[in-house]
Structure 1
Amino acid sequence: MTSCISSLHIYPVKSLAGINVSRSLLTAEGLMHDRRWVITDEQGEFMTQRSCARMATLMPAIDEHHLILQAPDRRHLFVALTPPEVAPSRVRIFGSECQGLDEGDEAARWLSDFFERPVRLKRVPFDNQRRVSPERLGDHVAHTGFADGYPLLVAATSSLAALNARLEARSLPALPMSRFRPNIVVEGTAAFAEHDSTTLAGEDLSLWLCKPCERCRITTINQCSGEIAVPGEPLKTLTMMDHGAQAGAFFGENAVVMQGIGQWLHTGMPIWMR
């Protein structure tokens, strides 16, 4: 079977629901519109499903002029894609200090009403300087928006099948790929080949598969309902599997762009790992 891109996914607002797309423009900081916005408290600390699972129930969309958020009660927030003319303000994502452009009081009121606490919506500034870990990348300089640490996450359908086989053997329900919030899903590879490879390549495309992704409690959250069906799973099962070089709940591989900026990725696109 020829290896190819099976699906593409973007998450415009960090920790909100994702959007499945048939094609996406590859930028130096990942897929276009991916993790370009973040919800913070009034001090700039980011919000995450780790502490607020109902973030998964806010559905984003992108049209020609707007980021659109839809709440479960069908209320909508429209945010212009044109950046606001404001001075950058503080954003803190784990230990990473960076900058964001505040989207204003209307967006803040809408989101504060939904979360029942004061929050702000911020976007990545045009001159974003948030670097991907120099400790991991060495002399290669890469930047990311509001992702946890890396601009891309690659996963394989065969890896999910292997995990689901193990879950089913333990009488646990199989999981959809959405639990792992990848950007690029590939098919036609061996299970967990992404952990045994350093490069995902295609025509005029090269991604450095630079760090296995150790998973957190977000994988326990149903990405449609925001509920936890089986506490601790699939983390417990992943920890018992031996597909990584080190012990832990690993699934998917973090990646940075080496070649292909400005190229449109699309489902069905031939790729290979090496």
Structure 2
Amino acid sequence: MTPCISSLHIYPVKSLAGIDVSRSLLTAEGLAHDRRWVITDEKGEFMTQRSCARMATLVPAIDDHHLILEAPDGRHLFIALTPPEVAPSRVRIFGTECQGLDEGDEAARWLSDFFERSVRLKRVPRDNQRRVSPERLGDHVARTGFADGYPLLVTSTSSLAALNERLKARSLPPLPMSRFRPNIVISGTPAFAEHESTTLAGDQLSLWLCKPCERCRITTINQSSGDIAVPGEPLKTLMTMGHVAGGGAFFGENAVVMQGDGQWLHKSMSIRMD
């Protein structure tokens, strides 16, 4: 079977639900519209499903002019895709300082009502300077929006199948790929081949697979309901699998763009892993 892209996913607002897309424009900072917005408290500290699982139940959509958020009760919030004309303000993600453009009081009120706490919605500024880990990338300069640390996450269908086989052996239910919130899912490769490769490549495309992704409690949250079905899983099972040297609950590879800025990625697109 020829390796190819099996599916593509974006998460416009950090920690909210994702959108499955059939194609996506690749930018130097990841897939277009991916994690370009973040919800913060009044001091700029980011919100995450790690502490607020309800975030998974806010569903985004993108049309030609708006980011649209839908609450479980059917209420909608519309945010213009055109950036607001405001000065950047503080955003703090895992102790790292960066900047965001505040989307205004209407968005803040809508989201504050949903979360029953005072929050703000901010987006990545045009001149984004948030740099991906220099200690990992060395002289290569890459930037990301409001993702945890890297602009892309690559997983594979075979790796999920291997995990689900291990879960089955432990009498646990299988998991969908949505638990791992990937951007690019590949098929046609051996299980965990993404950890043995350094490059995902295609025609005029090169992604550096630069760091295994150590997973957190978000993987325990049902991404449709916000519920936790089996506490601690799949983290406990991943830690028994040994597919990454050194141990830990790893699934997927963090990646940065080396070549391909401005190219459209699409489902069934042939790739290779080197």
TM over 0.5: yes
The superposition leaves residues 124-148 of structure 1 with CA deviations (integer Å, 9 ceiling, x where unpaired) of: 0000000000000000000000000
Q: In the alignment, what sits opposite 2:261?
A: 261
The superposition leaves residues 72-125 of structure 1 with CA deviations (integer Å, 9 ceiling, x where unpaired) of: 000000000000000000000002100000000000000000000000000000
Cα distance in 1 for partners of 2:272, 2:223 equals: 29
Task: Specify the code of the residue in structure 2 equivalent to 1:260.
Answer: G
Q: In the alignment, what sits opposite 2:216?
A: 216
Q: In the alignment, what sits opposite 1:46?
A: 46
**Are positions 1:147 and 2:147 aligned together?**
yes
Cα distance in 2 for partners of 1:12, 1:71 equals: 15
Q: In the alignment, what sits opposite 1:64?
A: 64
Task: Specify the code of the residue in structure 1 equivalent to 2:163.
Answer: L
Identity of aligned residues (%): 86
Q: How many residues align?
A: 274
Task: Specify the code of the residue in structure 2 equivalent to 1:62.
Answer: I
Cα distance in 2 for partners of 1:58, 1:168 equals: 30
Structure 1, unaligned stretches of length 5 or more?
none
Q: In the alignment, what sits opposite 2:20?
A: 20
**Secondary structure of 2:212's aligned partner:** strand
**Are positions 1:99 and 2:99 aligned together?**
yes
Q: In the alignment, what sits opposite 1:157?
A: 157
Task: Compute the TM-score of the two structures, normalised by the length of structure 1.
Answer: 1.00
Q: How does 1:121-200 map to 2 (within 5 A)?
A: 121-200=121-200
Q: In the alignment, what sits opposite 1:242?
A: 242
Structure 2, unaligned stretches of length 5 or more?
none
Cα distance in 2 for partners of 1:119, 1:69 equals: 15
The superposition leaves residues 20-54 of structure 1 with CA deviations (integer Å, 9 ceiling, x where unpaired) of: 00000000000000000000000000000000000
Task: Specify the code of the residue in structure 2 equivalent to 1:270.
Answer: S
Q: In the alignment, what sits opposite 2:206?
A: 206
Cα distance in 1 for partners of 2:255, 2:96 equals: 18
Q: In the alignment, what sits opposite 2:251?
A: 251
Cα distance in 2 for partners of 1:150, 1:162 equals: 25
Cα distance in 2 for partners of 1:19, 1:96 equals: 27
- Using the TM superposition, give the Cα deviation of residue 19 of structure 1 relative to its aligned residue in structure 2, in angstroms: 0.1
Task: Compute the TM-score of the two structures, normalised by the length of structure 2.
Answer: 1.00
Task: Specify the code of the residue in structure 2 equivalent to 1:269.
Answer: M
Q: In the alignment, what sits opposite 2:272?
A: 272
Cα distance in 2 for partners of 1:197, 1:107 equals: 42
**Secondary structure of 2:201's aligned partner:** strand
Cα distance in 1 for partners of 2:244, 2:95 equals: 26
- Using the TM superposition, give the Cα deviation of residue 209 of structure 1 relative to its aligned residue in structure 2, in angstroms: 0.1
Task: Specify the code of the residue in structure 2 equivalent to 1:273.
Answer: M
RMSD: 0.3
Cα distance in 2 for partners of 1:105, 1:195 equals: 44
Task: Specify the code of the residue in structure 2 equivalent to 1:44.
Answer: G
- Using the TM superposition, give the Cα deviation of residue 242 of structure 1 relative to its aligned residue in structure 2, in angstroms: 1.1
Task: Specify the code of the residue in structure 2 equivalent to 1:71.
Answer: A
**Secondary structure of 1:141's aligned partner:** coil
Task: Specify the code of the residue in structure 2 equivalent to 1:162.
Answer: A
**Secondary structure of 2:168's aligned partner:** helix
